[in-house]
Amino acid sequence: MSGTVVVGAGLAAAHVVATLREEGDDRPITLVGEEPDRPYERPPLSKGYLQGTTGRDEVFVHEPGWYDEHDVTTRFGTTALQVDRAARTVALSDGSTLGYDDLVLATGSRPRTLDVPGAGLDGIRTLRRLADSDVLRDVLATPQRLVVVGGGWIGLEVAAAARQAGLDVTVLEYAAQPLLRVLGPEMAGMFAGLHRERGVDLRTGVGVDGFEGSGGRVTGVRVGDELVPADVVLVGVGAAPNVALAAAAGLAANGGGIAVDEHLRTADPHVLAAGDVAYARNTALGHSLRVEHWDNAIRQGALAARSILGRPDVHDWQPYFYTDQYDLGMEYVGYADSDDAVVVRGDVAARELVAFWLRDGRVRAAMNVNVWDVNDQLRALVGREVDPARLADGDVPLDEL
């Protein structure tokens, strides 16, 4: 038997192979990944690992010998070039071909870049891989000017790490507030204030017209008539799913990801997708979505494995993510729109609160900021109709709402 081939050796892939083995599957498993490293977790790359508080060994999902011990064949540093669905084979960059009974595409995403003059200058960085974080760690070790293009989670986390390391930091955000699309104006304003108080030159409503440099290295970011000085630039303007392999194989895949059902299967029952690349039907929300966060990669990796094993599990959980910036820690669960009504219990000015996003009286998402051990209670509230006055009342225990 050919067994299972997993393409893309990231967090989702690691949980595919781990769950297969935990559930008693003793068939062959091959894990294929472009990077030379075994699977690792990406959140530390813009948080603890970048700041030097998390060791390199701590970012990996499994110990070095785990794959051999669990009879998982690894092909790290190897690219999957083509999938032949009729023959059920995957052609690899080293000239070899793998057969499969089931194929999981966990090909992840790649950082978006800017198509503007000077984009190829040295010193313009993105953050996606362990090697990228290694470069930025060196940047943080030297006093210099960092410009972050994009006020999303990655951009703000790097900005926080850089300010704590003593760098001069400017953040350029196209929208009226950082995180506006995700959090809406009130909560986005809280994060904007946090960074400005810490000395970040946060500029909103601005676009980047190009980069300028000297001797092939970036020296500034052109914003209209102004040149913002920069020794290093981090471009954090989102990520695009790696769908080329799936699309070339004739699967439904585009800029939104690889289309899969609630079991993470594509239209081909022998091919699944998981993690950042999966545009998956969510039975709790009633529609498909693509989620790039850590929790989703873990859960979908396990779900893909159980689907291979014929289990009835489905994609039915609420999205979850978290961030750490300066002394602010936050967890968010659910899926809301920025124009949903926001109800807050706690103190926004002190950044110690719980926020709820509601539509038609129903909780769509909740966020705890510097309030801990409540995420399970918040998750239980998502999807329910709750009196907004009771949500805002801190004297009403969350588990009594």
CATH number at residue 347: 3.30.390.30
- State residue 338's pLDDT score: 87
Neighbours of 291 (CB within 10 A): 23
Same domain, yes or no: 283 and 141: no
CATH number for the domain spanning 18: value is 3.50.50.60
- State residue 341's pLDDT score: 96
State the maximum Cα–Cα separation within the chain, in Å, rounded to a whole number. 65
Would the pLDDT of 46 be above 90? yes
- State residue 1's pLDDT score: 55
- In contact, 120 and 305? CB cutoff 8 Å: no
Q: Select from 235, 256, 290 the last residue of a domain.
A: 235
Beta bridge partners of 75: 32
Would the pLDDT of 237 be above 60? yes
- Position of tokens 């104006």? 185
Q: How buried is residue 68: exposed, middle or buried, by Cβ count under 10 Å (0-12/13-18/19+)?
A: exposed
Segment 52-64 shows an average pLDDT of: 96
- In contact, 356 and 365? CB cutoff 8 Å: yes
Neighbours of 396 (CB within 10 A): 14
| Cα gap 295→22, rounded to integer Å | 19
- State residue 130's pLDDT score: 96
- State residue 2's pLDDT score: 87
- Position of tokens 């998981």? 274
Q: Express as a percent the part of the chain with pLDDT over 70.
A: 100
- In contact, 50 and 44? CB cutoff 8 Å: yes
Q: What is the DSSP letter of 60?
A: B
Same domain, yes or no: 128 and 228: yes
Same domain, yes or no: 269 and 359: no
H helix or E strand, kind and range, residue 134: helix 130-140
- State residue 60's pLDDT score: 98
- State residue 293's pLDDT score: 93
| Cα gap 45→38, rounded to integer Å | 15
Q: Is the residue at 313 inside a domain? A: no
Number of continuous H segments (helices) and E segments (strands) in the chain: 10, 27
| Cα gap 188→338, rounded to integer Å | 10
| Cα gap 169→236, rounded to integer Å | 14
- Cα angle for residues 227, 191, 113 (degrees, 5° grid): 45
Same domain, yes or no: 222 and 139: yes
- Beta-strand pair 232-235/145-149: parallel
- Position of tokens 């689907």? 307
- In contact, 153 and 127? CB cutoff 8 Å: no
Q: Is the residue at 90 inside a domain? A: yes
Same domain, yes or no: 353 and 303: no
Same domain, yes or no: 384 and 282: no
3-class state of residue 318 by DSSP: coil
Same domain, yes or no: 245 and 106: yes
- In contact, 363 and 383? CB cutoff 8 Å: yes
| Cα gap 278→268, rounded to integer Å | 14
Tens digit of each residue's pLDDT (9 = 90 or more) over 115-143: 999 999 999 999 999 999 999 999 999 99
Same domain, yes or no: 118 and 44: no
Residues whose CB is less than 8 angstroms from the CB of residue 311 and which lie 6 or more positions away in sequence, other chains included = 23
- In contact, 342 and 355? CB cutoff 8 Å: yes
Same domain, yes or no: 198 and 288: no
Q: Is the residue at 74 inside a domain? A: yes
CA nearest to 26, candidates 9, 7, 4: 4
CA distances from 378 to 174, 237, 331, 392 (A): 31, 29, 10, 13
- State residue 316's pLDDT score: 97
pLDDT mean across residues, the chain: 97
- In contact, 113 and 15? CB cutoff 8 Å: no
> What is the token pair recorded at 251?
């699967």
Tens digit of each residue's pLDDT (9 = 90 or more) over 32-42: 999 999 999 99
Q: Is the residue at 317 inside a domain? A: no
3-class state of residue 225 by DSSP: coil
- In contact, 231 and 221? CB cutoff 8 Å: no
Q: Express as a percent the part of the chain with pLDDT over 90.
A: 99
Same domain, yes or no: 22 and 102: yes
Tens digit of each residue's pLDDT (9 = 90 or more) over 345-400: 999 999 999 999 999 999 999 999 999 999 999 999 999 999 999 999 999 999 99
Tens digit of each residue's pLDDT (9 = 90 or more) over 284-343: 999 999 999 999 999 999 999 999 999 999 999 999 999 999 999 999 999 999 899 999
- Domain hosting 336: range is 327-400
- In contact, 292 and 239? CB cutoff 8 Å: yes
Domain count, the chain: 3
- Position of tokens 């000077």? 118
